[in-house]
Amino acid sequence: MHPGPLVRRLFGPYEHWVAEVYRKLFVDLDDLAKTMSAWVPQANRILEVGCGEGAMTERLVRIYPSATITAIDISPKAGRLFRGDASRVTFCRELVEDIARTQPGGFDLVVLSDVLHHVPPGSRSSLLSAVNQCMAPDGALIFKDWLISRTPIHWLCYGTDRYLTGDRIAYFKSDSLKTFITGAFGSGAIQRQSTVRPWSNNVMYLIRRA
């Protein structure tokens, strides 16, 4: 069993604060949210794939005050640390493939943030295909992940991610990630690209169907 849950429980009532501080060493979710809201100013139905314990969901609730949000994860504790208005959020332990079957084209915004490197390589195409099916015809995907680099921060990120989650982490290089995305969504699918503070390893894309 990976040690992540035990480590987090040791912080008791301070767990949410500690998780926020730890995460910010690697990615500033507020910076990600700011860019997201500039790229997609309005959304009514949002699907967050791989919501984890609800950190990004908290930002989605704030930047899209009129949206209903479906936040899914394979963990039974999806949204466990969420702090905010829960009246517009539904947390589910569900696969995106299931959402694609039951609600095809049902979301004008899909968010996939720091998920793909946790997914086994053989399952990644299926995941992106399901995400594509979930998007409304004029919908958008905000995709964010961490790129490989030969830097100390990359190896620190890899080591802690691997240790705390127990997953077999596999990151992309920039060119291979773009090729993978366009293979799933079309050659002109990437509309915008940016990095997210504090490291250039954090890359995000605005994706629409080509």
Residue of higher predicted confidence among 172 and 11: 172
Residue 132, pLDDT > 80, answer yes
Query: What is the overall mean pLDDT for the chain?
Result: 94
Rounded CA gap, 28 and 24, in Å?
Answer: 5
Local confidence band at 72 (pLDDT 50, 70, 90 cut-offs): very high
Residue 136: partners with Cβ closer than 8 Å, 6 or more residues away: 45, 105, 106, 107, 108
Number of domains comprising the chain: 1
Tally of residues, the chain: 210
Centroid of chain to Cα 33 = 11
pTM of the model: 0.94
Q: What is the distance between the alpha carbons of residues 183 and 172, in angstroms, rounded to a whole number?
A: 15
91-103 confidence digits (pLDDT tens)? 999 999 999 999 9
Please give the span between the terminal C-alpha atoms of the chain, in angstroms, as a whole number.
42
- Do residues 92 and 66 lie in contact, with contact meaning Cβ atoms separated by under 8 Å? no
The per-residue pLDDT for 25 is: 97
Q: What is the pLDDT of residue 2?
A: 57
Q: What is the domain-level CATH number for residue 109?
A: 3.40.50.150
pLDDT at 118 > cutoff 70: yes
- Predicted pLDDT of residue 163: 86
Q: What is the pLDDT of residue 57?
A: 98
Three-state secondary structure string covering the chain: CCCHHHHHHCCHHHHHHHHHHHHHCCCCHHHHHHHHHHHCCCCCEEEEECCCCCHHHHHHHHHCCCCEEEEEECCCCCCCCCCCCHHHEEEEECCHHHHHHHCCCCEEEEEEECCHHHCCHHHHHHHHHHHHHHEEEEEEEEEEEEECCCCHHHHHHHHHHHHHHCCCCCCECHHHHHHHHHHHHCCCCEEEEEECCCCCCEEEEEECCC
Q: Give the Cα-Cα-Cα angle 56, 193, 136 (nearest 5 degrees).
A: 65
Owning domain of residue 160: 4-207
Question: pLDDT digit string (tens) for 144-183?
Answer: 999 999 999 999 999 999 988 889 999 999 999 999 999 9
